[in-house]
Amino acid sequence: MPGFFRRMTKSFFIVVNITAAILFLLGCYGYLFDPKIFWPIGFLTLTAFYFLLILVAFIIFWLFIKPKRALISAVAILLAFKPISNIVSFHLSNPFTKEKPANALRILTWNVAQFNVMEEKKHPDIKSRMLSTINEYQPDIACFQEMVAEDSTVKDHGHMDEFLQQLDFKNYFYSYNSKEDFWGYAHFGIIIFSKYPIINKQTVSFYPNDYNSIFQYVDVVKEEDTIRVFNVHLQSLRFSKENLKYIEKPTVEDENKALKESKNIIAKFKKGFLKRQVQADRIRAEIEKSPYPVIVTGDFNDVPNSYAYHTIGNNMNNAFVEKGSGLGRTFSGISPVLRIDNIFVDTKMDVLQFNLVKKKLSDHFPIMADVAMPKK
């Protein structure tokens, strides 16, 4: 009888190990699945890193019990080496230098969360601290998502001239959906600031009445070079405070309420997966049309092994993957491994250095990269 239980226990662990390996591989290669055909794969893309930890734990476990069985996890990890390198960067890079290399272009992207205008009473200095952080690094181009500013001086939530003056930019392009105005006069949208001339600009809104379904691009001239810079804000999940509270600490005290909350959260995930697929395809089409080298920045609201990430970043270099290190978490809530903000660079340009500023001034951390201008 003891031998029977021993065999059953080993079989159980083998089955669990193989199952974890399969789910891990599906999560890593989830970007190969079109969300229109099978949207639930998106859940596995969100959990790939955690399955990686499980597989590493199994390797350690089997090395003490039956070393050959450690190959189950080891083979799965080797098969997913490329996707893993997009999730975890292994570079031992030099510290980021605030002084730009010669002829470099410094580009910054940040979801500024309306510069926390809704929290002004609690944190009256938050906006000035955010602007000071930006000025500290002196980007040549700054792309913001969830921007709020008005076109007049009627109110004091960020007149555009004020931003231009405080951030020392000469040019900008502001895109917004009129249905998302704040207080009836302040626009909610995305913006590109540039120290260099903007010779062309375009806005694309997927759903005019929907939240943050918008992207823009500008053509910027630096000396003899012209580059096209995209600023994107893909569909968010729009979790309510109740949703987030339930995710962080699920409760079953009221089964009906728990079931309703679970269905609501799943529905929001589904909506996000499907809408980002449409948005990513459209952005990719616009990238392909560009007559100039391209840089894509913004809040993707999706992880590095997702359909949206790979569709938009196809045949481009991700600044974090090229020069970053660790997990590169850019979103401060829900999970410690969410890197959902990105800078993709045309292969005609070199990423010189990357920086993630870990200052919790928004629910996102700002990221920036220095890139060399297009190779002649």
Architecture of domain 104-372: 4-Layer Sandwich (3.60)
Give percent of the chain above pLDDT 90.
57
More confident of the two residues 327 and 180: 327
DSSP-derived secondary structure for 118-177: GGTTT-TTHHHHHHHHHHHH--SEEEEEEEEEESSSSSSS-BHHHHHHHHT-SEEEEEE-
Kind of pairing, strands 214-222 and 198-205? Answer: antiparallel
Give percent of the chain above pLDDT 70.
83
Exposure letters 275-312 (e unless 16+ CB within 10 A, then b): bbbbbbeebbebbeeeebbbbbbbbbbbbbbbbbbbbb
Would you say residue 368 has pLDDT above 60?
Answer: yes
Task: Give the model's pLDDT for residue 272.
Answer: 86
All CATH 3.60.10.10 domain ranges of the chain, comma separated, are 104-372
Task: Give the model's pLDDT for residue 179.
Answer: 57
pLDDT tens-place string over residues 170-204: 899 998 876 556 666 677 889 999 999 999 999 98
* Under 8 Å between Cβ of 33 and 44: no
